Structure 1
Amino acid sequence: MALQTPQHSDRNMALELVRVTEAAAIAAAQWTGRGDKNSADGAAVEAMRHAFDSVAISGTVVIGEGEMDEAPMLYIGEKVGQGGPEMDIAVDPLEGTEIVAKGAANGMAVIALADKGRFLHAPDIYMQKIAVGPGLPQGVVDIDAPTNENLRNLARAKKVDVSDLVVCLLDRPRHEQIIADCREAGARIMLIEAGDVAGCIATSRPEGGVDIYLGSGGAPEGVIAAAALRCVNAQMQCRLLFEDEDQIARALSMGITDPHRKYGIHEIAGGDVMFAATGVTTGPMLRGVLREGMGAVTHSVIMRSKSGTVRFVEAHHDFSMKTWSRA
């Protein structure tokens, strides 16, 4: 592609990305509700990895399934694509493995692409996050500000009452104080079991039903969410959270120079970026994979920071015509 190439090449690449997320979503959907998150994840990883073979890039996975000795495919540092412009890739073949295993809402297959060196190389640790949607004054919320102050400022910017705001965060014991602060301020809460990429992205679309995302989740997921939000001029701030000195040493080895730094969205996902996601199970933004005879229907979204375009794609797949497996 690279992301500086002519516009028609960007559009072609956007469709190629969707084909990759579609393959992962269809493979994972076979395991929906079957209580086996590892098989669901493994199917998505394998399908996504093989689908990359036809993409015209020289891609390097910088956010993936772990280190080479931890993951057989889509590991950090793996080269993918059939050759072309050098690009960094952030993937989550199945965002919400437990969601899909339980047959719950909002499972997705997601990919983000950026020019080489423009993604934060985040270690697989926790990351504190705050995200709001587009069309708001810059700095309307701040990760270091008290929760009630952020909610008041956001309500003022949106010209609504705090009681009209919906706060999304993971349902975890570590978020008890944030939840209490939100409720004391009068805001409403949307607790999610998993899938904080989807939670962050929900702030960017009216149908998402979310005004602000708060709390901590995976750092790799934070990079992917930042890429999506970049495409629509939304706002996000993050800070890595370390549990011990070993984690700090790991981050330093990956190029993190200040372990306590507050990252803005352009520092997490810089330059021109693309984002694609396909629903595995139905959520506020994307419908899940629907089996249709000897085929399936998928629903995807593609976002491009260069144009700010958000496209939703419904695709009807005939398995007898596919070169990749649906098993």
Structure 2
Amino acid sequence: MQFHSEVAPRTCVDIHTLEAVALAATRSAAVASYAWVGRYDQEAADAAATKAMREALAEAPGRGTVVIGEGEKDDAPMLFNGEIVGNGNGPDFDIAVDPLEGTSFCAKDLPGALATIAFGEPGTLWSPGPGFYMDKIVVPPQARDVIDLDDPPERTLVNVAKALGKKVSELRVVIMDKPRHKELITRVLQAGAAVQTPAGGDVGGSLAVLLPTLDVDLLLGVGGTPEGVMTAAAVGALGGGMLGRLAPQRAAEADAIRAAGMSLGRVYNCAELVSGDAFFVATGISGGSLLGRPRECAGMTTAESLLISRGEIRYITHTTFG
């Protein structure tokens, strides 16, 4: 697979080159924000991660467009929708980005903070415009054909359990611990499933569904659209199932979505959120079951990353000196 430019053929770039750029970007963001782990300063941590990622992306061979970023949603200083990155000497590509997924985890030194990014060919990544939040279901490949975002959670649990060859009581469900999910969590528990309720980090929760080493069966609830698009890149690469629908949390957001001519009722499947070749990368910041935190020893810094691309999951440890 190659990302092509409309100019001379010499500007075609092998996907491995862009994977290396993505890994460098998330590693840089992770190491920069790690200095702020446990310092209770979310803004400083986010700014450090964003600055480092932007500087790394500036070296990318080509012209990248931030199709979906965190700038508008979190009032972040950089990497906003429509921003251009790269050195221009190569193909066009699109990116979805969250330099610091789980800012509160980083600030409070809790496990789960990640630096994340997804790359895709131009036009591959869906842009939600002014929609910042999305209702989502994420499931493993075996259950991708049995989910419906309009189903009540009880029916979803029954259908997913059957597809996975389990009882509902054996399911483990990730739902973020937010006031908006109080009823959903109650209903899932009453149906008999177990619930994991992280304070945030729905990318990490979705990855837990997809990775065979982690004991999670599905993710439910409302999270960010940047996280949704990045999640879809990983889900699509691994053959999982995902559905999403814009879920504005404020009247102004809903009005902006309608003004942009977008539907609040449309359900998007994974192939619509990411419609072509794409890959996903994450690097650990505050540690946890998914990826460890950066480690410094004897003048060396080691970071742990995850690359999901073309049906493969690769764990990569990278050490820098100085």
The residue correspondences of 1:272-287 to structure 2 (distance < 5 A) are 272-287=277-292
Matches within 5 A, 1:81-230: 81-83=86-88, 84-122=90-128, 123-134=130-141, 136-230=142-236
Distance 1:163 1:80, change over 3 A: same
The separation in 1 between residues aligned to 2:139 and 2:144, in whole angstroms, is 10
Equivalent residue runs for 1:227-242 within 5 Å: 227-242=233-248
Establish whether residue 315 from structure 1 lines up as the match of residue 315 from structure 2: no
Range with bigger deviation, 279-288 or 3-12? 3-12
**Conservation of the 8 A alpha-carbon contact between 2:173 and 2:218:** yes
Identity score, percent: 37
Q: Deviation of residue 124 (structure 1)?
A: 4.6
Secondary structure at the aligned position of 1:118 is classed as coil
1:287, distance to aligned residue in structure 2 (A) = 1.2
- Residue in structure 2 matched with residue 289 of structure 1 by the alignment: 294
Q: Distance in 2 between the 1:149 and 1:260 partners?
A: 20
C-alpha deviation, 1:237, in angstroms: 0.4
CA RMSD of aligned residues (A): 2.2
> Runs in 1 of length 4+ with deviation above 4 angstroms?
4-8, 67-71
* Gap regions ≥5 residues in structure 1: 321-327
2:135 aligned partner, one-letter code: Q
1:19-77 deviation line (CA, Å, top 9, x unaligned): 11100000000111111111111100000000012111200111113249954321211
- Measured against aligned partners, the alpha-carbon deviations of 1:120-154 in whole angstroms (never above 9, x if no partner) come to 212353211111012x1542221111111111111
Match in the other structure for 1:323: none
Q: Which runs of 5+ in 2 are unaligned?
A: none
Q: Secondary structure at the match of 1:55?
A: coil
Tell me which moved more, 170-179 or 21-30.
170-179
1:74 pairs with one of 74, 79, 82:
79
Residue identity in the other structure for 1:175:
H
Q: Is the 8 A contact 1:120 1:268 kept in 2?
A: yes
Aligned equivalents of 1:76, 1:247: Cα separation in 2 = 16
Q: Secondary structure at the match of 1:92?
A: strand
SS at 2:149 equivalent: coil
8 Å contact from structure 1 (residues 2, 87) kept in 2: no
Q: Across the two proteins, how many residue pairs are aligned to each other?
A: 315
Q: Could you say what secondary structure the match of 2:238 adopts?
A: coil
In structure 1, distance between residues paired with 2:63 and 2:17: 16
- TM-score, normalised to structure 1's length? 0.90
| Structure 1 residue 180 displacement after superposition | 1.4
